[in-house]
Structure 1
Amino acid sequence: MLKNQFLEIRNFVTVAQAGSFTSAAQALGMTGSALSKSILRLETRLGTKLLHRTTRRVSLTNDGDSYLSDCKDAMAILDEAENRLGSAQHLPAGRVRIDLPTAFGRRYILPSLLELSTRYEQLELSITFSDRTTDLMDDGIDLAVRVGALGNNMDLVARKLGEHRRVICAAPLYLERRGMPQTPADLKQHDCVVGWPLGQKPSWLLKNTDGVTEAHEIPVRHEIGDCEAILAATLAGCGLAQVPTWLVEDYLRSGALVSVLDDQAADALPVHAIWIKTPYIQPKMRVVIEALLLLATAPGSKFEAL
């Protein structure tokens, strides 16, 4: 509907409620002549007479009375929508679509987001879990947490939350059976458990003799598309796996898993919160971002490089 049509409807409702062109014109800041022409245009467009005009007052025709009722209902809906959006500019309200790393997101981020939703009753969350890179715009994601280096995308904002280290480890039973690798080259003689491949050759990140982190191609025994399932396979003695330290720290302390090639461990991977760049961050997004930053800086945070 065109802007002029909205104005004509507003003018008609004002005249009908005032019962006078003169009073309505004063309320609208218009001349009586301009207001009369506006009503005539509306009647012409609708093909019916809406008002009976006399020298002293204005009254509604049957069609006018019915149309006024519909117009008032429509304006009430618009007023409610504007009030709702207006309040949403001050309070965290509405839906935020969030994509999180699978295991880390479930264990360490989800509880804080759920607590946030109980604090703000009008905040609605749609949360997905994925270890694959998604396109925020194409997939309709408002905010994502990503582990690893980010590409150069001028349409996104990134806030670093922390770092994750990775360790290569295996169950003692497996190492007793197959031996302890001493160099990255020894990995070629071992069973390796990896995540689901994304088209590239399977490899693990390790430092070379110059201290530079580089990818080392590895033989694959098992491909498992879930971080916690990879942990289960490693605990079961199925082979070596390169996994985040936060996932296995308790098992390393207890001796259920043993780390290998520690001297060649790769540099920590950055962890970022990313979202689409906008001129204004809505309150619903701001509270989610602030919750992530608070979680990342809390004592003992799992976002820290371990």
Structure 2
Amino acid sequence: MRNTDHLGGINAFVTTARHGSFTAAAERLGLTKSAVGKSVGRLEDRLGLKLFQRSTRRLSLTPDGERFLQSCQHAMDILQQAEAELTSHIAHISGRLRVDLPAAFGRQRILPLLLNIARGYPQLALTVTFSERFVDLIEEGIDLVIRIGELADSSGLVARRLTTQKLVICASPEYLLQQGEPIIPEELSQHKCVVGFRRDQPISWLLKDCRGEVNRYVPPATYEFADGDAMLAAVLAGCGLSQLPLWLVGRYLASGELKEVLTGHSGGEMPISVLWPKSRQLLPKIRHIVDALIKAAEDGLLD
């Protein structure tokens, strides 16, 4: 019982330190705030030192706590590695897999693939979230993310490019009938534009110049949406022009519900990548999903 409590106290301490409060740690661990606090308190008593500086406003690590956290994280990494190596030979896929996906692409292209895999592996449990923001996989306990666009600092992660999404500028025929069709990029400033909104990221479209070189162009942001499906809905409703991926608008272009414009300046592409925490040995569930995503990309199912 004493050893179990000792390990539980370390887990409670590390989780609290990572999330900044007993309340957040309790939610993560599925315990009460009081239970987490008492577990950390018993650990401090056993060590004979304070790991946290407590105040009415915030919880912060003491210098001893910071040193102990580094040691604990290193030890937990070793334990996780040992578990991965031990289970790497297991043929069946099991356990909970936490995945974060970009909204529209994730729902249309990745989620069906994940659900199909889940049906074949009853012992696999999924937690799927949809966001466009940067996520700290280690901090937030996420196993796998799909991201669109050039990757920022990804130290500590493994990144594998799956495919690229081709971009086109389009609008509804009704909008073009009322507002006219732009012939050169400079005329975009006279139009209403539907753009993707990302916090801390500049809004720009990728356009080819007369030499065929791709440059960034900042369109007038008449309507801003943080979701590709919402952008598509606005363009179909005649709200303006937008640069959208071909996988999202292809069928509407084919049906005539949307019309491509500035075709000579199209051709911009954005990479689509899968990322997961760097480790020497992949857990079977992560390896299986990554392999399935790579195969789907090679078969053209993600285009």
TM-score, length-scaled by structure 1:
0.67
**Structural mapping, 1:137-176, within 5 Å:** 137-176=138-177
How many Å apart are 1:88 and its aligned residue? 7.5
Q: How do residues 76-95 of structure 1 correspond to structure 2 at under 5 angstroms? A: 90=90, 91-95=92-96
Which residue in the other structure is 1:234 paired with? Answer: 235
Distance 1:124 1:273 in 2: 19
User: Which protein shows a greater Rg?
Assistant: 1
Q: Could you tell me how far apart the structure 1 residues matched to 2:162 and 2:104 are?
A: 17
5 Å matches for 1:63-212? 90=90, 91-212=92-213
User: Counterpart of 1:15?
Assistant: none
Structure 1: 4+ residue segments shifted above 3 A: 85-89
- Separation in 2 of the partners of 1:285 and 1:200? 29
Which residue number in structure 2 is paired with residue 291 of structure 1?
292
Identity of aligned residues (%): 43
Which blocks of at least 5 consecutive residues in structure 1 are unaligned? Answer: 6-81
CA distance in 2 between counterparts of 1:213 and 1:137 reads 35
Task: Note the C-alpha offset of 1:89.
Answer: 5.7
Deviation of 1:122 (Å): 1.5
Is the CA contact 1:99–1:130 (under 8 Å) kept in the aligned structure 2? yes
Deviations 1:245-303 (A, max 9, x none): 011101101111011112111432111111111011011111111121122122x4233
C-alpha change, 1:200 and 1:272, in structure 2 (3 Å) is closer
**Distance (whole Å) between structure 2 residues aligned to residue 153 and residue 136 of structure 1:** 10
Q: Secondary structure at the match of 1:219?
A: coil
SS at structure 1 position matched to 2:96: strand
Query: 2:258 — aligned with what?
Result: 257
Structure 2 distance, partners of 1:181, 1:123, is 50
Deviation for aligned residue 1:101: 1.5
- Tell me by how many angstroms 1:135 deviates: 2.4
Unmatched 5+ residue regions in structure 2? 7-81
Conservation of the 8 A alpha-carbon contact between 2:132 and 2:198: no
Question: What's the secondary structure of 1:211's corresponding residue?
Answer: coil
Q: Which residue of 1 aligns with 2:19?
A: none
Contact 1:164 1:270 in 2 (8 A): yes
The DSSP-based 3-state class of the residue aligned with 1:165 is strand
Q: CA deviation at 1:99?
A: 0.9
Question: Offset at 1:105?
Answer: 1.0
Distance across 2 between alignment mates of 1:297 and 1:202: 30
Offset from partner CA, 1:138-170 (integer Å, 9 cap, x none)? 322111111111235331111121110111100
Q: Is the 8 A contact 1:197 1:223 kept in 2?
A: no
Determine if the alignment matches structure 1 residue 302 to structure 2 residue 302.
yes
Q: For the Cα contact (< 8 Å) 1:207–1:264, is it kept in 2?
A: yes
CA displacement 1:75-103 (0-9 Å, x = unmatched): xxxxxxx99x9668613221111111111
Q: 1:200 to 1:145 in 2, by over 3 A?
A: closer
Aligned length: 224
- C-alpha distance in structure 2 between counterparts of 1:293 and 1:302, whole Å: 10
CA distance in 1, matches of 2:144, 2:267: 28
- After TM superposition, give the deviation of residue 208 of structure 1 in Å: 2.4
Give 1:127 deviation, angstroms: 0.7
How far 1:201 moved relative to its partner? Answer: 4.4
Kindly indicate whether the alpha-carbon contact (under 8 Å) linking 1:170 and 1:257 is maintained by their aligned counterparts in 2. yes
Rate the CA distance shift 1:207–1:160 in 2: closer, same or farther, 3 A. same
The answer to whether structure 1 residue 219 and structure 2 residue 220 are counterparts is: yes
SS of residue paired to 2:242 = strand
* Structure 2 letter corresponding to 1:283: P
Please tell me the residue identity of whatever aligns with 1:225: A
